[in-house]
Structure 1
Amino acid sequence: MQRIDIDDPAVDMDASQRLLYQGKLFTGEVAEYQGEALISLDGYTEGIQDGPTLEWFPDGTKRSEGVMRMGFVSGEYLEWHPNGTLASRQVFSEDGKRLKEEYKWDVQGNPTRTWRDSDA
């Protein structure tokens, strides 16, 4: 699978906000770096975010993790505080068009929000 750097001058977006590489819709992985540190890695299909989406803080601690399906979050999406404590957990419908559950925690791990769609 091809991997490109989002800051490569050959990366662009078209009028429909699809990712282009060397003028063509891109399929593969798109990485973003802060200095030498990898801070995000996203899958793309035909220019649309599709597949795993991962982010890290510059020190390497995981920041977020989920799966995109044709531009929408699908299933579980997790975010962490810089200290490694889970910050939020969201559960989306498979098509990504509906949030079904949301849970949030403060930096000490204390729950701050619990919500479930009554239709879920």
Structure 2
Amino acid sequence: MLIEGDSTRRIDVDDPEVNMDDAQRLLYRGELFTGEVTEYLGNALVVFDDDGLTFRESYEWDEDGRPTKSWRLGDGF
């Protein structure tokens, strides 16, 4: 699913409409994608730039849904 807000486009890397081409570029619905890419890892959400390398932010929460940690680029992560 594509989420658009405050001029940033964001997709979930596990979305079935997300693929990579032969040059390892990110595609969404068959077109090159620019924006942020999210990935859920257990109780954590990680956000990268579309290059898949530049870390932007991360959030973690406990089993009850309470936030436990968060990081943003520039916080020393």
For this structure pair, what is the TM-score category when the shorter chain's length is used for normalisation? 0.5 to 0.7
Which runs of 5 or more residues in structure 2 are unaligned? Answer: 1-7, 61-67
Query: TM-score, normalization: structure 2?
Result: 0.58
CA RMSD of aligned residues (A): 3.0
1:42 to 36, 45, 48: 48
Secondary structure at 1:60's aligned position in 2? strand
Larger radius of gyration: 1
Structure 2 counterpart of 1:4 = 11
Structure with bigger strand share is 1
1:54 CA drift (Å): 2.9
Q: CA deviation at 1:61?
A: 4.8
- Written as runs of structure 1 = structure 2, the 5 A alignment for 1:13-32 is 13-32=20-39
Q: Please give the alpha-carbon distance, in whole angstroms, between the structure 2 residues aligned to 1:60 and 1:11.
A: 28
Query: Normalised by the size of structure 1, how large is the TM-score?
Result: 0.40
SS at match of 1:32: strand
Structure 1 counterpart of 2:56, from 54, 57, 60: 54
Helix, strand or coil at the partner of 1:8: coil
Partner amino acid for 2:44?
Answer: A
State the 1:42 CA deviation.
Answer: 1.4
- Structure-2 separation of matches of 1:2 and 1:54: 13
Number of aligned residue pairs: 62
Instruction: Name which structure has the greater RCO, CA cutoff 8 Å, separation 6+.
Output: 2
